[in-house]
Structure 1
Amino acid sequence: MFQRDYFMRMIHQMTEMVAQVMALKQEKKKEEALQVIDEMLDRQFRLNGKLIRSLSDTDIISMMTVRGVVETANLHAIALLMKEEADLLDEMDQAEQSYSIRVKALHLFIRLALLEAEPLLRSPSEEAAELAAKLREYELPRATKELLLEWHEAEGRFDQAENVLDELLTDGLMGQEAADAFYRRLLLMPDERLLAGGLPRDEVIDGQRRLYETPVIEKAGGGSGS
């Protein structure tokens, strides 16, 4: 009962925050809107924008994990605040800051989707899809592409997962063994599921075959960008 009450209270607070930020944006009061976000982070989580920008997505998740259980409502709220902040920074022509915060928010929403977390205002997957679309024109870090691959595969978008896989292979950021494991997982699935995911079995087999026709050279390291 307490958890449900807390969750509903968080939804109410996030709804109010988004409405307040939107109103300030319409009034061209972007600095004030950023202040609203900072105040919410401080009041609810004892965090601020500067600290959030210095933490990785895994750091933030660790902070929101109690006795091995991720507090998904809190994590979703933080990701939503970061998403709103990134949009504001975009409008203020601070593209570099906006990009890094948006990537981090994308990571958090994908991780929430993989945890099958209950939605606040929208589902984590809907939020992640919106952020991924906004980041489409950018060359994303390796860690982001790996998360996108995992997310697309988990949600049955096998054609999109293969597109990300191809990028990682082309960039030398994934080895042949890991790529082969992806195709082998798909081959265990029924035909109808593969078809629904945009990657029929013959294309899965062809993709796996192509792995062995073109040598894959995996680069060492690779930044996480998160």
Structure 2
Amino acid sequence: MFQRDYFMRMIEQMSEVVGQVMGLRQQRKQEEALLVIDELLDRQFRMNGKLIRQLSDADLVRMMTTNGIVETANLHAVALLIKEEADILTELGRQEQGYPLQLKAFHLFMRLAILDAPALLRTPSEEAAELETKLGIYELPRETKLLMWEWHESDGRYDEAENVLHELAEDGAIETEEAVEFYRRLLLLPDESLLQGGLPRDEVNEGLERMRQQSTQA
């Protein structure tokens, strides 16, 4: 009961803050909007905003895990605030500051989606998909692509997972055996799931055979 009440309060608070930030952005008061975000980051969580920005996404997940349970509402709220801050910085032409925050928010939303965390304002996957589009103009780091691969597979978008897998393979960022295991996992799924995920069984078999051949040639 306590967790549900807390979650509902977090939804209400985030709705209010995001609405306030959007209003300020529409009035071209971006600096004021940044102050609103900064104040909430400092006040709401067990660490200040400066530390939140410095920690990696993996560190933030660890910091917001208690007795093995991830505090997904807090993590989602942090990701939302960081995403809003990144958008404002980009509007102000400060992409060099906005890009790493966008990337961190993207990582956090993907991790939340993999954890099957409930929606706050939108689902983690919806938030991640928006950021994936915005970040599409960049060559993303290996760790981002690895997380994208896992996220797409966990969400049942097997064709998207395969696309990221091909990028990783071309970059030499994964072992061939990891790719082989991906196709083996898919072969355990029913035909209907594979079709819904955009990768029918014959294409899975083709991918598996292709990776096996690369493995023997290596």
TM-score by length of 2: 0.95
How many residue pairs match? The answer is 218
1:32 partner letter: E
Is 1:147 matched with 2:147? yes
What residue is the counterpart of 1:27 in the other structure?
A: 27
**Long gaps (5+) in structure 2:** none
- Deviation of 1:48 after TM superposition, in Å, equals 4.0
- Structure 2 counterpart of 1:8: 8
Aligned to 1:88: 88
Q: Percent identity?
A: 65
**By percentage of residues, which structure has more helix?**
2
Q: CA deviation at 1:217?
A: 10
**Counterpart in the other structure of 2:200:** 200
> What is the CA-CA distance between 1:3 and the residue it aligns to?
1.4
State the shift of 1:59 in Å: 1.0
| In structure 1, distance between residues paired with 2:66 and 2:94 | 35
What's the counterpart of residue 117 of structure 2? Answer: 117
Q: Deviations over 1:143-198 (max 9, x none)?
A: 11111111111111110000000000000001111000000001111112111111
Match of 1:222 in 2: none
Cα deviation 1:77-119 (Å, max 9, x = unaligned): 0000011011001101111221111111111111111111111
- Following TM superposition, the consecutive aligned residue runs of length 4 or more in structure 1 with deviations greater than 6 angstroms are none
Aligned residue in 1 for 2:184: 184
Q: How does 1:163-178 map to 2 (within 5 A)?
A: 163-178=163-178
What TM-score results when the alignment is normalised by the length of structure 1? Answer: 0.92
Q: Is the 8 A contact 2:7 2:73 kept in 1?
A: yes
Partner of 1:172, secondary structure, is coil
Corresponding residue of 1:97: 97
Q: Within 2, Cα distance between the matches of 1:77 and 1:26?
A: 22
In structure 1, how many angstroms separate the alpha carbons of the residues matched to 2:53 and 2:160?
29
Paired amino acid for 2:134: K
Displacement after TM superposition at 1:216 (Å):
9.4
Kept after mapping to 1: 8 A contact 2:177/2:215: no
Alignment RMSD (CA, Å): 1.7
